[in-house]
Structure 1
Amino acid sequence: MTEGEGEGAPNSGDAPPVKPKRPQLVFTLAVEVGRKAGDGLPDKATGAGLLIYATGVDEAEAVRETVALLKAADLSPLDVTGYGTLEERLAAGDEIDAEERGLMERALAENSVVVAQMTPFYD
């Protein structure tokens, strides 16, 4: 074998097989948050509901990333409900307008969590 031949060829089973990279998807999540000091919610609010578009290779990853981000932002996530990807929501009969699609595209492009709406709760 001459110099350079075989470079990049798989070795004799020493390296683990390379898993194909799974694509990022955007999931629609509804998150209920409670009160926590410094959370930025209105004074008399008892919590809030957030509509979020979050990326992940699956819904579980999107939820984990969202909860971690909300905790880092001094919010107190109590409950997360997943509504699926754009395709799953369309298949379920949801109507999704251009603004909502734009926010989903932004989440995907930025590989991020986008809070689309926050509704404070009051007793």
Structure 2
Amino acid sequence: MTRKPSKQQVFTLVVEVGRKAGDGLPDDSTGAGLMCYASGVDEAEAVRETVAILKQADMSPLDVTGYGTLDERIEQGHEIDDDERALMTRALLENSVIVAQVTPFFNEG
């Protein structure tokens, strides 16, 4: 019996991270939000891989929000520019996690 190859897809994830020594975030930040594109056969696998890679990078993942695949996002009415599509394609081709944007969080006041 031949095994059917799994179909990798790219998922858009936003990961909230807390502070951890050596995380590379600005000293006065309280954490950050990371926009990631991660490949996986399903969203659960993409989340697991993303969390594992961020932990290896000395980051402290607290929460992950999934926004689905490219097709799912288009169905939801998201506008996706050429740069974002290129990053998604790269994540798929490299079977990797790409951190596309890091937005540090700061306490006000």
- TM-score greater than 0.5 by the shorter chain: yes
Residue 104 (structure 1) aligns with: 88
Which ranges of 4 or more aligned residues in structure 1 deviate by more than 6 Å?
none
> How many equivalent pairs are there?
107
What TM-score, normalized by structure 1, do the two folds share?
Answer: 0.85
The structure with higher relative contact order (CA 8 Å, sep 6+) is 2
Unaligned runs of at least 5 residues, structure 2: none
Residue 61 (structure 1) aligns with: 45
Aligned pairs for 1:1-123 within 5 A: 17-123=1-107
What is the percentage of aligned positions where both structures have the same residue?
Answer: 71
Write the deviation string for residues 66-99 of structure 1: whole angstroms up to 9, x where unpaired. 0000000000000000000000000111110001
Q: Hey, what's the Cα distance between the residues in 2 that align with 1:95 and 1:39?
A: 31
Q: Which structure has the larger Rg?
A: 1
What TM-score, normalized by structure 2, do the two folds share?
Answer: 0.95
Unaligned runs of at least 5 residues, structure 1: 1-16
